[in-house]
Structure 1
Amino acid sequence: MRTQFTRELVALTNDLTLMCRLTHDAAERVTEALVGADLTATYEVFALDERLQTMYSACEARTVVLLALQAPVARDLRHVVTAIQIATELSRISGLVSRVAEQVYQSHPGHVAPQTILEILAAMGRLAAQHTALSGQAVATGHQEPISEQDSGATAMDALHQQLHTVLADPTVAQPTTTAIDIALLANHLERCMDHTARIDRLIRFLDTGIPPTAQPVDS
């Protein structure tokens, strides 16, 4: 019974690691779609999201079965509960990335924004992809570096968001109100991806140390 449970935990971790990889790939492809108004990349994002959401449903079902049939305690319980929470965060990241891809699709054959703004959005997308990859490494190893040793990227993302607002307010590159709102929403989606990776990092620390996410210091 214990051996089977251990195998299930390993399989669960492997699935989460694959989900992280899919989410990272989607974030990279949506950045390419933004920059190049690339429909092929856009369709790939949709396909990745569909695959990830299917995996999320399977992961959710697996964790429910483990909780119901194995009644884990202590670290094993943390492992199972943390797994479904991480899967949920990955599902949300993928959903946000898919929304960005939808805007690229709707704007085709044009771009979603002028080049100056596209460069900022692309930088935000690359940052989101980078931190999704870092979260994937933490999921695979079950260990996250202390906050003091880890660059959360929050400051860089905040700076990019502020830069975007400055550009949008510049009368020389003024956009119609509806376009400006769409651009602001795109930026918000990408920024929220970073929020979800930060939650994954806190969940991994919880698994590693037993300190609940709400009791951990906030990333600077």
Structure 2
Amino acid sequence: MRTKFSSELAALTDDLARLAKLARDAAELAMVAVADANLTVAYEVFALGEQLQLAYGACENRAVLLLALEAPVARDLRHVVSAIQIADDLSQIGRLTDRIAETVVRHYPKPIAPPDLLATLGAIGSSVVTLATAAGHTITDRHPVPPAATGSADDTVPQRVQQLLSTVTAAEWPHGSATAVDLALLAHHWERCTAHLIRIGRLIQFFHTGVPLSADPE
């Protein structure tokens, strides 16, 4: 029985790794779609989003069955509970990248921002992709994520978001309120992706150490 349970836990981790790859790929393609005003790539983001939500449902079902039928305790319980929460965070990232792609589609064939702000959005998106890549590696390697792996991106993304918001809310902003709102929402979507990925890092730490998310990160 223990061998079967261990096999199911390993399969749950594999499910998470697949979710993390889909979320990472969706974030990267969303970044490209924004930068290039690329309609084809935007629709690829939608396709990945559909795959991600299907994979999320399968992962959630596996985790619930493990809780209901195996009654795990201690470390194994942390494994399953952390997996459920990580899967939900990855699902939310898929929904956020869909919204980013929707903005590209709505503006097509025009770019969604002037070149200088496209560069800022690209830098924000690149930070998110870096975080998503690190999260995927950490899940696959089954090792705790070092705090330094998330700290720099956690600092950088809000700074760039604030820079963008300051630009689009300035009195001399020349591109209209509708564009300003769209760009503010895009920045918000990327920032929410970052928050989910930071939380995933802390959930992985919780699994390995038992330190709850409410504890102050070092």
TM-score by length of 1: 0.94
Matched, 1:204 2:209: no
More off after superposition, 143-152 vs 133-142: 143-152
Structure 2 match to 1:2:
2
Report the Cα offset of residue 24 of structure 1.
0.6
Hey, what does 1:193 align to over in structure 2? 193
Is 2:111 the partner of 1:111?
A: yes
Task: Give CA deviations for 1:60-112 in whole Å, capped at 9, x if unaligned.
Answer: 11111111110110101110111010000000011101100000011111111
Q: Check whether the contact 1:142–1:207 (CA below 8 A) recurs between aligned residues.
A: no
RMSD after superposition: 1.5
Does the CA-based 8 Å contact 1:39-1:108 persist in structure 2? yes
- SS of aligned partner of 2:151: coil
Q: Which residue number in structure 2 is paired with residue 179 of structure 1?
A: 179
1:133 aligned partner: 133
Shift in Å, 1:116: 1.3
Q: Distance in 2 between matches of 1:36 and 1:146?
A: 34
> 1:20: Cα distance to partner?
0.6
Q: What SS does the aligned partner of 1:143 have? A: coil
Change (3 A) 1:141 1:51: same
CA apart distance, 1:142? 2.6
Whether the 8 Å contact between 2:19 and 2:52 is mirrored in structure 1 is yes
Change (3 A) 1:216 1:6: farther
Q: Give the deviation of 1:154 after TM superposition.
A: 1.6
- TM value normalised by structure 2: 0.95
Partner AA of 2:179 in structure 1: T
Gaps of 5+ in 1: none
Q: What residue number does 1:13 align with? A: 13
Q: Is the 8 A contact 2:131 2:150 kept in 1?
A: no
Task: Report SS of the residue matched to 2:214.
Answer: helix
Q: Residue type of the partner of 2:78? A: R
Instruction: Give per-residue Cα distances to partners, 1:127-186, cap 9 Å, x unaligned.
Output: 111101111111122323442575341211122112212322455542211211111000
The 3-state SS of whatever aligns with 1:215 is: coil
- The runs of 5 or more residues in structure 2 that have no matched partner are none
* Structure 1 residue 192, shift from structure 2 partner: 0.7
State whether residues 32 and 38 of structure 1, in contact with CA within 8 Å, keep that contact through their aligned partners in structure 2: yes
Matched, 1:90 2:90: yes
Matches for 1:13-162 after TM superposition, within 5 Å: 13-147=13-147, 151-162=151-162
| 1:29 CA displacement | 0.5
Count of residues in Structure 1 that have an aligned counterpart in Structure 2: 218
Q: Determine the C-alpha separation between the residues in 2 that align with 1:136 and 1:148.
A: 16
